[in-house]
Amino acid sequence: MLYDIIVVGGGPAGLTAALYARRANKSVLVIEKATFGGQITYSPKVENIPGFLSLTGNEFAERLVEQVLEQGADVEAAEVLEIRDGEVKTVITDSGEFTSRTVIVATGARHRLLGLPGEEDYIGEGISFCAVCDGAFYEGKTVAVIGGGNSALQEALLLSDLAKKVFVVQNLDFLTGEDKLSEQIAERDNIEVILGTVVKELHGKGELSSITVEESATGKTSELSLDGMFVAIGLVPQNEKFKNVIVLDERGYADAGEDCKTSTSGIFTAGDCRAKRIRQVATAAADGAIAALAACDYVDGR
């Protein structure tokens, strides 16, 4: 089947794109390699989505997926390996090839690592990225959250309901998350914020047992005994496989403006994988709508 639009990525940007494209009566296939809904499915509580006072990220994702399926979009659980340009675009996956008149790349971003020796070996063995997924394993124990932004503070608050002690280790001299979250952090007796400090080493035989941290100003080091560590220091765009059809900036983000058009005719981008200043659910959804309408115009020859 030749689709009008193939959407690569099933997060808020990709699913919104599919929704708008189907509303315009275009045939749509959404391809997602992992979890439909994207990174927001790991958020235990979301309060900044218009129209919802509060809900979990997973609840939001489920509603969005249901809405897209109800509109008649096709979905495929597969990993996209390559996009080939041409009058007809070919999307090659680990489960087959699909063709389309246009492609919207909405692959989002993955968790950024600290870049320390042995770090990947500890993933699942003391290092995690999702408190809502793994927090229960650390009930009554001591954990650290690395980072000081919204995601890190949300993780710390959730963990403080379960863990005996939560360290928040931030490399800057201040927290970068919202003031409201910082205030909630300060109110928790079992959360200790350590500013101006970086993680230098990881320790443990088979499982993480402690970390060495260093004060940036003085170079003084100390060791924190831990049962687990949650890394929340940002995301890395997943665009490398598409650099043959999309110009990437120095950080690997798709070099596309607010119109979501890439350097290749008929290929668009949306969401956290695009170069932009603000990355929120609302801006991802906005990108998805813009990219979809641009793709519809392309299909219609406008």
Would you say residue 156 has pLDDT above 90?
A: yes
- Considering the chain, what percentage of its residues have pLDDT values greater than 70? 99
User: Do residue 167 and residue 140 come from a single domain?
Assistant: yes
User: Do residue 200 and residue 289 come from a single domain?
Assistant: no
Residues 84-131: pLDDT tens digits?
A: 999 999 999 999 999 999 999 999 988 889 999 999 899 888 998 888
Which residues form the catalytic set?
130, 133-134
Nearest to 155 by CA among 176, 183, 185: 185
Residues 162-176: pLDDT tens digits?
A: 999 999 999 999 999
Q: What is the mean pLDDT of residues 262-290?
A: 94
**pLDDT confidence of residue 296:** 98
User: Do residue 90 and residue 123 come from a single domain?
Assistant: no
Would you say residue 277 has pLDDT above 90?
A: no
User: Do residue 77 and residue 155 come from a single domain?
Assistant: no
DSSP string, the chain: -EEEEEEE--SHHHHHHHHHHHHTT--EEEEESS-TTGGGGG-S-B--STT-SSB-HHHHHHHHHHHHHHTT-EEEE--EEEEE-SSSEEEEETTEEEEEEEEEE---EEEPP---TTHHHHBTTTEES-HHHHGGGGTTSEEEEE--SHHHHHHHHHHHTT-SEEEEE-SSSS--S-HHHHHHHHH-TTEEEE-SEEEEEEE-SSS--EEEEEETTT--EEEEE-SEEEE-S-EEE--GGGTTTS-B-TTS-B---TT-B-SSTTEEE-GGGB--S---HHHHHHHHHHHHHHHHHHHTT-
Going by pLDDT thresholds of 50, 70 and 90, the confidence category of residue 302 is confident
Mean pLDDT lowest among 7-21, 33-47, 261-275: 33-47
DSSP string, 225-267: E-SEEEE-S-EEE--GGGTTTS-B-TTS-B---TT-B-SSTTE
Would you say residue 288 has pLDDT above 80?
A: yes
User: Do residue 98 and residue 177 come from a single domain?
Assistant: no
Structural domain that includes position 220: 119-231
> In this structure, what CATH number is given to the domain that contains residue 146?
3.50.50.60
User: Do residue 227 and residue 125 come from a single domain?
Assistant: yes
- The residues pairing with 265 across neighbouring beta strands, listed in sequence order, are none
User: Do residue 244 and residue 156 come from a single domain?
Assistant: no
Domain tally, the chain: 2
Measured distance CA(139)–CA(125) in Å, rounded: 16
pTM over 0.85: no
Would you say residue 45 has pLDDT above 80?
A: no
278 compared with 7, residue with greater pLDDT: 7
Would you say residue 44 has pLDDT above 70?
A: no
Residues 123-140: pLDDT tens digits?
A: 888 998 888 778 888 999
CA torsion through residues 10, 12, 17, 23, sign: positive
Going by pLDDT thresholds of 50, 70 and 90, the confidence category of residue 38 is confident
Final residue of a domain: which of 173, 204, 231?
Answer: 231
**pLDDT confidence of residue 131:** 85
